[in-house]
Chain A
Amino acid sequence: MSLFLIAALPFLGAVFPALLIRAGRNACSSAAGAVTLLALVGVLLHAPEVFRGETVTARAPWLPQLGMNANFFMDGLGFFFATMILGIGLLIIIYARHYLSREDPMGNFYTYLLLFQGAMVGIVLSDNILLLVVFWELTSLSSFLLIGYWRHLPAGRQGARMALAVTGGGGLALIGGMLLLGHAAGSYDLTTILERKDQIQASPLYVPALILILLGCFTKSAQFPFHFWLPHAMAAPTPVSAYLHSATMVKAGLFLMARLWPVLSGTDIWFYIVASIGMITMVLGAVIALFKDDLKALLAFSTVSHLGLITLLLGLGTEEAAMAAVFHIMNHATFKAALFMTAGIVDHEAHTRDIKRLGGLRVLMPVTFVLATVASLSMAGIPPLNGFLSKELMLDAAAHTIWNGSEWLFPVLATVGALFSAAYSFRYVVHTFLGPVRDDYPHKPHDPGIGMWLSPAILVLLVVAIGLFPEALAGEIVRTVTDAVIGGHGHYHELKIWHGVNTALIMSGIATVGGLILLALHRPLDVAWLAAPRPEAKVIFDACIGALIRAARAVTDTLHDGALSRYAAIFTLFTVGLGVYAFSTGEIGEATRPMNRIEVLPLIVWFCLIGATACVVAFHRYRVIALVIMAIIGLVVTLGFNYFSAPDLALTQLSVEVVTIILLLLALNFMPKRTPIESSPGRRLRDAVLSIGAGVGVGLLLYAILTRDFAFPSISEYHLANSYKGGGGHNVVNVILVDFRGFDTFGEIIVLGIAAVVIFALTEAILRTSVRAKLLNRKPDWPVAGDSHPLMMVVVTRLMMPVALMVAAYIFFRGHNEPGGGFIAGLIAAIAIVMQYMASGFSWAAARQHFPYHGIIGSGVLVAAVTGMGAWLNDKPFLTSDYGYIHIPGLEKFEWATAALFDVGVFLAVVGAVLLALESLSRYAWRPNTDSPYPMDINPARDDPRGGRED
């Protein structure tokens, strides 16, 4: 079976349990089991090749630019792990079918389990270290789901988050490490990397890569000081614990250390880090395990301890130690999975896992007792079980290790570890199963059905069989795997029980006897242990994470507290700073333009401008006054445009001023007349300094610009030359607006239209709330004028209307050659209509106005767009204009450009936008069915097909 298929099967199969759960729990579990079995068979089919020492490969490009490819290979190590993952996975699936209760969503469980299984298989079969990282992080994510499976348990959620934080975080370090390793090796392909030991170890990247990779491995394999997550992951259902902590998740770290052993090991730094951490973890885990009362917690710390043992062996860097590591990985997987399952059985039957509430189960659960005892004794290292064999190998390796000149340190520590290990193994059996039968179990226990004890039984069979016939059953595979680990052919001793009386046997004997003594002394020791102060990992972890979250909140909430003035202050400061930096690091050329002579009249107007601006600052809390002064500023700017020979701009500015002031006055009608003081004097000082600084900066920039010529000929020369020739108009400004850069104008009228539509939508949104009622019922803070529609004003505005419209038309038509155009004309026409609304009231004016404003805006944009598209018929680009001359008898011949049609669009959009904005603002004051005293009342429902009903 192709390796692609093997790796993909669990992922593809993960769909089935989730779907088939509707067909029943048996269908669900069978599907999961079948998928796993199929993948397992696929792996086993490759056994002959693997035992011949060949590697099976499957390669496909994925992201060759990065060197990340879907390359898989299977050698002895991969085969060994894949078999273990899938084999034990199958047993777990059988076990879980009977373990989970009816309330547990079994479909989810098997889906998560298969996802996790796929990720594990992916790790061990990857031939590309980046692909390996992908699967690595996938195990973190899927184990998060598995550990948190019982979502109603706080312990489950916290354990899941803790596991994800530690292993996922370690995975991030691993990403960095793998990228460095790949760079040092010049390839991300494992098979290539494994051949480049010297190149990698000579690289300056070796040490950082090693440390980052080991961080990944140690977090995953729960090595000190990252061991704390593993016991908390025990909140998961027992099948999950049995799977994750015997054969899979925690072994991933060991796998990676074994996989990279040929290139990373053999240096001092490897030895001192890996072997020392392994030793510490082994001893520490074993000591803590002895004092745990929860069966699963005891097993969890024993797992930590055994993982430390294997890490220690890998860290020693010798062939014998590597072989011992491989052998112990196999043995640990068998007895530990069996032990977890027996713990699960006890929990399932007695409804407690607390060792102090148990005892005497030997009589009540004989089958479970036998299974647990055999597995425990193997864990304790008692012959003739498989745990004894690999523990002997470990003790032998430790006995020959010199650590920093000390010959006795490692042997002693190893013996201590083994001693505690024996003690907790004995305790697991003695305190749970031996002793008198009690009558206070939470639930009367008895042996479960075969479905639950079959899986551990198979494993226990293996424990015994491998123990009795190690060479026949495991010798070949252990040597093949070890060859793969060390990347060559090693010379190994045969696996056998009896090596004669040697150091290891003596150490083993000490450990066993010592273990029994410790167990006998357990009660006083336990009291002392519980009384002694010891750091509680979870408390520390929670405190750290809690502090992190609080800090993150504090930083986030302080920085983003919604104070616009501070945001703007930072913006200004940053901009000015960078602007000054940019300016000062460049060279400024000489001023090339002479200064204009300063004349008296403009000087006076200039002082008006300055004075008015200062007044806005001084009076900005009085909104109406500020608005009036702003109108003055607008007028001065208009004069300025005119003075500097820009009549088009002057006209535009003037009409824009009129319209905006009217709209703003209308808006002010609904607002308080004064702005309250909101900021402290210090903050106002800060703002003053910043804004003066920014203003001075802009002023200096403008001065520099105005006193210098273009560095290159400007495009405006072309515009001047081609305005009439190409655009058919003498007014270059207008030709630029409707022709050269008509597309900009097209965008801008859309902006205007959108603005009006947004005002309308906003008004609708606000009118649905209680705001309107508040507005209507508020007491005006100024006296209201008695006469809403003064007769004089009504008469004058009605007389003015045709004149104003005429002016608009005039401005429009002359636009292409003289100052004017659609934009200005639109504003003037809008003003003509607005005057009617102001003078005669909205009801009167609206009743005489038959075009909905939305439609006017829309038609304006459409006319402009369709004019632009007209050029397509001529096979010219959008907005290409044409012009010609029209002769009408009695009139002088005149010129007609398509750009004028475009200008009509501009005109309509402007008129519509202004009026829609006006209407929207007026609606705040509108009252249904009453003659409004306000000048700008309107029935908003007048173009609503649903009629005049208020919503």
Chain B
Amino acid sequence: MSHWIILPIVLPALLAPFILMVIRHHLDLQRIFSVAGTVALLGIATGLLAHAATGDITVYELGDWPAPFGIVLVLDRLSGLMVFLTAVLALAVLLYAIWTGWDDRGRHFHALFQFQLMGVLGAFLTGDAFNLFVFFEVLLIASYGLMIHSGGAHRLHAGVQYVAYNLIGSTLFLFALGTIYAVTGTLNMADLAVKVAEMPAEDTALIRVAAVLLLLVFSVKAAVLPLHFWLPGSYGNAPGPVAALFAIMTKVGVYSVLRMYTLVFGPQVEATQGLASNWLIYAALLTVAAGTIGVLGSRRMMRMAAFGTIGSTGTLMVAVSLFTQDTAAAAIYYMIHSTFAAGLMFLVADLVVERQGDSIRPYQPMPHGGTISVLFFAAAIAVAGMPPLSGFVGKLLVLDAARDSAQAVLVWSVILITSFCAILGFARAGSLVFWKSHDDNEPDSEEIADAEVPPDPRAVKLPVAPPRLPFVPAFALLGVLVLLTVFAGPVMTYTGKTAEQLYNPQTYIDTVLKGTGS
């Protein structure tokens, strides 16, 4: 009996109440425990990834109740990968938050951070539809707490929008689950796969409604147009490191679509034909467009990073929504890239905000400006999908995989043209913030409008020399992107096999329902 698979959930679930109960007044202790826990989590995640890489599907039956009657956790290649991604990103973000002192600007950062990890990891590991809802709630409420960490009028205002919008999504999730249970009488995903495939052809309307509602819920999380409205405000106003952690949150939505729409409502399922394939691709393409247009049209660094995230996740959804094994392999590669690239972008944006404020406008030279500009250049290259970083590789993979689809021309045009928008936007922002010095009186012809942008009142006035340590996690994320580029071949082998596992769900179903894995 191996309990490793539940540790990513139980570990933060123990750590967070411990922090609340015992060391809530001792920031240093909180930091030590939080970092130690996250390092341990990374170790566990590495072990799980290594195990998942063998192609084994591991099932953990909670309470020793057999599926589908109890709740199961399932570790396969996809969930193993997602857990690993989360752990890596979490460690970098946590160190950044500690070294910048962000965790000290409000209460209970570390407890909420661990709860957030628990929610995200649970969502990746669970094999039960209702349990997925529970973890969505955990990560939503914890993310709300993190989002409004340290307060401020803008942040609280954005926080209300964030939580209100997502609660509408949660309500929809309940409707969907209620309908699913009412029709199939089960909540276990593998069991659902069996039942939905056997749905009588003359009785499909209700399961179709449930399937589409579920897709909408996941699309909210993944910020697919027109359900993305919550993202720019909330990510753009969240504390920098929190927004960086949220890079994994949009991926929870994408993951759920990948999971449910290959396993339960897969392309081969008769009853739910045409529900996702008809509109999602267009919505995803519009998302890419909205994101990159937003990058070009943003007046603030954090907001630009938020739109970059939308564009990046949109590209990912394009690949997902073509629903073939090849596009899924490309999508999963791009998912890894997108997580770290968006995380890096938010950290860089925060480095600027910490020194100068949020507005994209000329500044006096800032401390560590050279190093930050290098990071910004790299992050912009990554998010825009330019060589030599993994965004380019991912984009090539997506374009290549989309080649045989009916929408190929559209996908190619949108992705290539929007990349142009993103390049323009980032080049403009970078050259304004890092190159144009404040005392330069001659305005650039296309920059005149920027003179109207007032200085950001939220700019934090820092003590003499801001700390250098926050650069370590930022460069570490950049290093991950470099590794992802250099080892694109092996990574793609893994994601290819992951997609294969996703698109041949019979093993998953058999393993869960017979419980042979435990």
Contacts and interface: CB of A to CB of B under 8 A. Distances in A.
Contacts of B424: 161, 165, 545, 548-549
Contacts of A868: 10
29 contacts: A130-B396, A137-B387, A141-B377, A154-B440, A154-B442, A165-B423, A165-B424, A175-B416, A562-B158, A570-B226, A571-B229, A575-B213, A579-B213, A585-B208, A586-B206, A589-B202, A701-B175, A705-B183, A708-B206, A715-B191, A747-B131, A753-B20, A754-B145, A865-B14, A872-B3, A876-B1, A877-B1, A877-B3, A881-B63
Contacts, number: 398
Nearest to A862: B17
Contact of A578 (B118, B178, B216, B397): B216
B111 interface: yes
- Looking at chain A, what size class is its interface with the partner chain? 35 or more
A549 B296 contact: yes
A165 B426 CA distance: 11
B106 A764 contact: yes
A766 B164 CA distance: 19
B138 A750 contact: yes
A64 interface: yes
A562 B161 CA distance: 8
B96 interface: no
Contact of A712 (B19, B179, B198, B230): B198
The 6 A-B pairs of least Cβ separation, nearest first, read A765-B151, A858-B21, A714-B185, A552-B297, A589-B203, A586-B205
B250 interface: no
Interface string A871-904: 1100111111100000000000000000000000
A68 B211 contact: no
A148 B435 contact: yes
B464 interface: no
A944 interface: yes
A202 to B, nearest CB: 19
Interface in A768-806: 768-769
A715 B186 contact: yes
B275 A134 contact: no
Interface stretch (A237-245, A666-674, A734-742): A734-742
A726 B70 CA distance: 12
Interface string B431-443: 1001111001011
A179 B412 CA distance: 10
Interface of B: 1, 3, 6, 10, 13-14, 16-22, 24-25, 60-65, 68-71, 106-108, 111-112, 115, 118, 122, 130-131, 134-135, 137-138, 141-142, 144-145, 148-153, 156-158, 160-161, 164-165, 168, 172, 175, 178-179, 181-188, 191, 195, 198-209, 211-213, 216, 220, 226-227, 229-230, 232-233, 271, 274-275, 279, 290, 293-294, 296-299, 307, 329, 377, 381, 386-388, 392-393, 395-397, 399-400, 403, 412, 416-417, 419-421, 423-425, 427-428, 431, 434-437, 440, 442-446, 449, 488-489, 492-493, 496, 518
A701 B179 contact: yes
A388 to B, nearest CB: 40
A568 interface: yes
A768 B20 CA distance: 21
Nearest to B210: A582
Nearest to B201: A587
A151 B436 contact: yes
Given A545-B446, A715-B185, A880 B420 contact: no
A754 B138 contact: yes
A521 interface: no
Contacts of B428: 161, 549
Contacts of A682: none
Contacts of B144: 758
Nearest to A547: B446
A939 to B, nearest CB: 16
Contacts of A766: 151, 156
A546 interface: yes
A482 B135 CA distance: 66
Nearest to B165: A567
A574 B227 contact: yes
Nearest to B188: A715
Nearest to B380: A141
A134 B387 contact: yes
A550 B69 CA distance: 57
B36 to A, nearest CB: 17
A583 interface: yes
A678 interface: no
A567 B161 CA distance: 9
A556 B298 contact: yes
Interface in A34-68: 61-66, 68
Given A579-B212, A751-B137, A758-B148, 7 more contacts: A68-B396, A141-B377, A574-B216, A711-B185, A716-B185, A877-B3, A877-B64
B182 A710 contact: yes
Nearest to B172: A575
Contacts of A273: none
Contacts of B230: 567
Given A154-B442, A740-B69, A587 B427 contact: no
A334 B293 CA distance: 43
A595 interface: no
Contacts of A557: 297
Nearest to A868: B10
A164 interface: yes
B427 A165 contact: yes
Contacts of B396: 66, 68, 130, 175, 179
A765 B155 CA distance: 11
A209 interface: no
Interface string A209-223: 000000000000000
A164 B142 CA distance: 42
Which of B62, B202, B392, B425 has the most A CB atoms < 10 Å from its CB? B62
Contacts of B204: 586-587
Interface string A155-191: 0011011001100110011011001000100000000
B12 to A, nearest CB: 10
B182 A705 contact: yes
A133 B445 CA distance: 32
Nearest to B419: A172
A445 B310 CA distance: 56
B68 A726 contact: no
Contacts of A575: 172, 213, 216
A176 B232 contact: no
A858 B209 contact: no
Contact of A542 (B70, B187, B275, B446): B446
A876 B296 CA distance: 55
A161 B431 contact: yes
Nearest to A182: B400
A530 interface: no
A859 interface: yes
B63 A879 contact: yes
B175 A698 contact: yes
Given A138-B387, A575-B216, A875-B1, A757 B145 contact: yes
Nearest to B401: A66
Contacts of B403: 179, 183
A751 B195 contact: no
Contacts of A579: 209, 212-213
A66 B211 contact: no
A583 B232 CA distance: 32
A137 B435 CA distance: 22
Nearest to A584: B205
Contacts of B188: 715
Contacts of B187: 715
Contacts of A704: 205-206
Contacts of A698: 175
A924 B443 CA distance: 48
A761 B165 contact: no
Contacts of A619: none
Contact of A141 (B24, B298, B381, B436): B381
Contact of A757 (B112, B492, B518): B112
